[in-house]
Amino acid sequence: MLDIALKWFGLELDNRHRVIIEDGVEYVKRTARAGAKFDVIHIDACTMEENVDTNCPIDIFYTEEMVRNYAAMLKPRGDW
């Protein structure tokens, strides 16, 4: 997917914008515990299934635990 984003969507990686490819739930949990802070959190973990509440991001990213983790990871003026 990274190759596609770079080639077809003009993605540019630099010291302020990076892509992390791994299990998103585990990354968020680990990063929140480590105390890392971000200006923006964007999660691109989608499904094409029809019988779900949300397609993107998938439901696991909306649990109470995950929302608490996002809040802990955002800088005071950050956005999710």
Reported as a single tens digit per residue, the pLDDT across 37-70 is: 999 998 888 888 888 888 889 999 999 999 999 9
Q: Could you give phi then psi for residue 78, rounded to 5 degrees?
A: -75, 170
For residue 1, the model assigns a pLDDT of 83
Please say if the pLDDT value at position 72 is more than 90.
yes
For residue 45, the model assigns a pLDDT of 87
Give residue-wise pLDDT tens across range 12-44: 999 888 888 899 999 999 999 999 999 999 888
Q: Could you give phi then psi for residue 26, rounded to 5 degrees?
A: -65, -40
Active site residues: 44
In this structure, are residues 30 and 73 in contact, taking their beta carbons and an 8 Å threshold? no
